[in-house]
Amino acid sequence: MSGPLEGRIVLDMSRVLAGPWAGQLLADLGARVIKIERPVSGDDTRGWGPPWLEDATGNPREAAYYLCANRGKQSLAVDIAHADGQALVRSLAEVADILLENFKVGGLKRYGLDYASLAKRNPRLIGCSITGFGQDGPYAHRAGYDFVIQAMGGLMSVTGEPDGMPMKTGVAITDVMTGLYATIGVLAALDERERTGRGRHVDVALLDVQVATLANQALNTLVSGRDPQRHGNAHPNIVPYQAFACADGYLVLTVGNDGQFARLAELLGHPEWAADPSYATNGARVTNRERLVPLISECLLRRNRDDWLADFEVRSIPAGPINSVSEALSDPQIRHRGMVASLERDGMSIPQVANPLRFDGQSQTSRTPPPSLGQDSDSVLRGMGLSDEDIARLRQEGIIS
């Protein structure tokens, strides 16, 4: 499947999630992404199981974690600690458009594979370095992990029940968001290169991304001078905007304006709430949430969840069920949109969650499955002009696999 980045070459020297997420997105958009991995072990996430995808005989093959972020790529397993391995990567960088890497600051320089060194050989190369704390500053030397960054960047302080322990999110959301910001950065640099003819180095730090994506919570703090408190499933700025229990389950109610609240009040049998100065406006409802929310909770407990949701739908009151992951993946809207897919490789069906971008009505999701380790080493090297004898020697010496 072609895409807007068809013909572009990405050298993906990243591992785990943030960098590979960016690489997968670029692959979905049509770029040729060559994933550089360590021989024998490969990307760390190949071993991050269970759960494992099993082959036809029931033997574990690959971790689900790895499979979530490496669709559309070629795998070249090469030892960059060896001079011959470094030479191979340099040759690839000379024809690449984009370099993705998430080594610690200075980690690639000792191999002569840092962006500054590679850009001397290819001034059009766009480099993107993804680290925990950025290329400079007092923490630049530290390794970055999503969990630590959620803690340091303030996200955990606003996540969880008011009287409970601060909580991380259920997904490594800082890694995912960093992958998205990295993609935006390299695409902007790619556009600029069309005018200047020269590449750029994009510096993306997990901590920077985490702080940037605090969004309204950061501005709440800067404007008020006070730290926001944890509200559990409630919203600090909107009421009612939280989870509620029904007779047989849970739903979320997200009333975003006063008109919606008036319709809700009428449905719940209390139209007088919409005229009460204590509840008529969102600001008043936020101020008086401790009185209003229990009243709404009492009403919702009287009926089953789906009955309430049907009535909300008719009255254009935004709400939804709290689904499990399997329920979400089975939702008719998700299925209609083609968000759950599968790719075939080596006789295995590899489940995938699709790229949410659609171009002219077509899903922009690569049909190439995540590669096995070193799957494309031979074909990539042959494309670089190496002979079968050269490839055999490199493999015998453990430089590739």
Whether the link from the prior residue into 50 is cis, omega within 30° of 0, is yes
Architecture of domain 241-322: 2-Layer Sandwich (3.30)
Distance CA(252)–CA(238), nearest Å, equals 13
248 is catalytic: no
Do 45 and 342 touch, CB atoms closer than 8 A? no
Active-site residue, from 146, 175, 203, 208:
175
The rounded distance, in Å, linking the Cα atoms of 321 and 249 is 8
10-residue stretch averages of pLDDT, the chain, 401 residues long: 91 98 98 97 95 87 95 98 97 98 96 98 98 97 96 97 96 98 98 98 98 96 96 94 96 97 98 97 97 98 97 97 96 97 92 96 95 96 96 96 93
Residue 191: partners with Cβ closer than 8 Å, 6 or more residues away: none
Q: How high is the pLDDT of residue 57?
A: 83
The answer to whether 85 and 55 have CB atoms below 8 angstroms apart is no
- Paired residues of 26 in beta bridges: none
Residue that the structure tokens 């972020």 belong to: 69
User: For residue 82, how far is the Cα from the chain centroid?
Assistant: 32
∠ CA 94-120-8, rounded to 5°? 35
- 3-state SS of 319-332 is EEECCCHHHHHHCH
Give the DSSP H/E element, type plus range, for residue 130. strand 126-131
Top CATH class, 9-213+336-397: alpha beta
Whether the upstream peptide bond of residue 51 has omega within 30° of 0, thus cis, is yes
Choose among 38, 84, 41, 113: nearest CA to 393.
Answer: 84
Q: Which amino acid makes up residue 389?
A: E
Torsion of CA 23, 29, 31, 36, to 10 degrees: 20
184, HSE (Cβ side, Cα atoms, 13 Å): 8
**Paired tokens of 76:** 């070249």
Residue with tokens 């840092």: 114
What are the DSSP calls for 73-128, one per residue? EEEEEB-TTSHHHHHHHHHHHHH-SEEEE-PPTTTTGGGT-SHHHHHHH-TT-EEE
Give CA–CA dist 148/152, Å, rounded.
6
Domain spans in the chain, listed from the N-terminal domain onward: 9-213+336-397, 241-322
pLDDT number for residue 1: 59
DSSP-derived pairing of the beta strands 52-54 and 60-63 = antiparallel
Spell out the residues 6+ positions from residue 268 whose beta carbon is closer than 8 angstroms to its own. 296, 299, 300
Task: Tell me the residue type at 23.
Answer: G
Q: How far apart are CA 388 and CA 97, in angstroms?
A: 27
